[in-house]
Chains A and B, each alone.
Chain A
Amino acid sequence: MHGLAQREGAISSHTRYQKRVVDDERKNLHSSIICYGDADLFICFEPSEALRRGIFASKKTTFVLNSRTIPGIMITANLEEYPPIEKIKEILNGYSDHVYFMNATELSLEHFNSNHYMNLIMLGLAIPTGRIPFIEIQNYEEVIKEWLRNADENIKALHLGIDEGKKIINTRKS
């Protein structure tokens, strides 16, 4: 069966990597699932999805969130209320001080007349946090050129996200 997750279905993924393995195999990466509370970085394309996956967060987690909301079916049916963005931020700040919002959907619409580039813009926001170490920008660019349609636009979106992300992160630091 296909398509069951379409139209507002929640999607999440785990990515784990280890730059260099050590001789003691017990200290090396062996599993594809993140332990509860062990996420270093959350990249959330929809704010409430960060709360849904909160079990993987802890004080070491950095959150980057797209501020554009997509109300689920229970909300559009007036059976539940969407939590205010400020409330979401307050909850995430209970885990960590490193919570960064950006309206990546709006940026994608503004610069590319499409919301399809939101994910690359969000990657761009995540990179300046320093929580995706050991991967260079050119590594992303190579993969984009090999695997994605509209490579030039996707690379522009990545750099747009990096530039806007640096502004957001530097503003918070100053």
Chain B
Amino acid sequence: MEIEETDIINIVIAGTAGQGVITLKRLIEYAAQKAGIERVFGSEI
């Protein structure tokens, strides 16, 4: 499936406490910013 630059990408990361869910979430978000992605949002539940 072709993904356009204007598409919104949605990623769910799930696990149990202590497995590094939030670490990975923030890693992806920081890497996205370094990649020049214009909008990066996230929530930790």
Which residues from chain A sit less than 8 Å from chain B, CB to CB? 5-22, 27-29, 31-35, 38-46, 49-50, 52-53, 56-57, 66, 70, 116, 118-120, 122-123, 130-136, 139-140, 142-144, 146-148
Q: For the side of the interface on B, what is the size category?
A: 35 or more
Whole-angstrom distance from the CB of B30 to the nearest CB of chain A? 4
Residue of A nearest to B30 (CB): A143
Interchain CA distance A2-B18 in the complex, whole Å: 13
Within 8 Å by CB of B11, from A11, A39, A148, lies A39
| Interface contacts beyond A13-B22, A53-B12: sample of 7 additional A-B pairs, CB < 8 Å, sorted by A | A9-B17, A11-B21, A14-B42, A42-B13, A45-B19, A49-B15, A134-B35
Contacting residues, chain A, for B15 (C-beta < 8 A): 11-12, 44-46, 49, 66, 119
The answer to whether A14 and B34 have CB atoms under 8 Å apart is: no
Contact A46 to B16, CB < 8 A, known contacts A15-B29, A21-B39, A123-B27: yes
How many contacts A-B (CB < 8 Å)? 202
Contacting residues, chain B, for A29 (C-beta < 8 A): 8, 39, 41
The answer to whether B39 and A49 have CB atoms under 8 Å apart is: no
Interchain CA distance A4-B18 in the complex, whole Å: 11
Within 8 Å by CB of A135, from B6, B8, B13, B35, lies B35
Interchain CA distance A40-B39 in the complex, whole Å: 17
The answer to whether B12 and A17 have CB atoms under 8 Å apart is: no
Contacting residues, chain A, for B10 (C-beta < 8 A): 14-16, 34-35, 38-41, 56
Q: Interface digits, B28-41 against A, CB 8 Å rule (1 contact, 0 not)?
A: 11111011111111
The answer to whether A42 and B12 have CB atoms under 8 Å apart is: yes
Whole-angstrom distance from the CB of A125 to the nearest CB of chain B? 12
* B25, B27, B30 — most chain A CB neighbours (10 Å): B27
Contacting residues, chain B, for A41 (C-beta < 8 A): 9-12
Residue of A nearest to B20 (CB): A119
CB<8 Å pairs between A and B, sample of 14: A5-B17, A7-B18, A11-B14, A13-B22, A13-B44, A15-B40, A15-B42, A29-B39, A32-B41, A34-B12, A43-B13, A130-B3, A132-B28, A139-B32
